[in-house]
Amino acid sequence: MEARWVKQTVEPLIGGHEIFLDSDDLQDLTKLLNHVVESEVLIIMQTSEVIARPWMILELHTAVTHDIPIVALFVRGKGYDFDKSPQILSHLDTQLDQLNPGASKVLRQFGVEPIDAAYLLSQVIPKIISIELNTSASKKVLDASMQDLVQHLRNAKPCKINLSK
C-alpha cells in the first residue's frame, strides 16, 4: 500500500519519469531483474520482511552489481530494525531459509549464491541513509518527506564497494 502511494505521489514530482512498482503489471517474475537494470534508481522500502524476501534480495543484488543507485525509504511502523538488519544481512547465507524457507533456492535459480548476496548487501544496505515515511504524519510532513525523496532520487549515486574478500 505504501509503495503504491509513493509511486502515485512521486511520479508527478519527477517530471514524467515512470516509477516501476514490482507488483504492477508484471506477468513474468523473471523479467523483474531486467526492470531493475533498466532503472535509474532503485527504492528499497524498509519494512520488517524486506531483507527476507528473495525477490527483493535479487533486486538489490542486481542494482549493486549493475551500479544502479539505491535510495532507502524507512516506513515507520512496519518493523524494520536498523540494529538487527546488518547482522541478518551479514549472515544471510545461514539465516535466510530460517526467515523465509526456500528463499535460498530462489536466489540460486538466478545464479546468486546466498553467501555472495550476504557479503555484497551487508557492505551496502547498512550504509544507505534512509528517508523516513510516516504515514500517520500530517499532510505537510508527508509532502516534505516526498520532496526529500525526490531530492535523493535526483542526487543518487551508485554504491561503490570493494568486492575483494
pLDDT at 102 (0 to 100): 95
Task: Determine the Cα–Cα distance for residues 123 and 159; give it in Å rounded to an integer.
Answer: 9
Q: Which residues pair with 71 in a beta bridge?
A: 43
Residues 97-117 pLDDT 10s = 999 999 999 999 999 999 999
Gap between the terminal Cα atoms of the chain: 39
Does the pTM of the predicted model rise above 0.85?
Answer: yes
- Give me 26's grid cell: 508484471
pLDDT at 27 (0 to 100): 63
pLDDT at 140 (0 to 100): 96
- Give me 22's grid cell: 514490482
Whether the pLDDT of residue 50 is over 50: the answer is: yes
Q: How confident is the model at residue 164 (pLDDT cuts 50, 70, 90)?
A: very low
Task: Determine the Cα–Cα distance for residues 118 and 35; give it in Å rounded to an integer.
Answer: 22
Whether the pLDDT of residue 162 is over 60: the answer is: no
Task: Determine the Cα–Cα distance for residues 23 and 135; give it in Å rounded to an integer.
Answer: 20
The SS3 of residue 164 is: coil
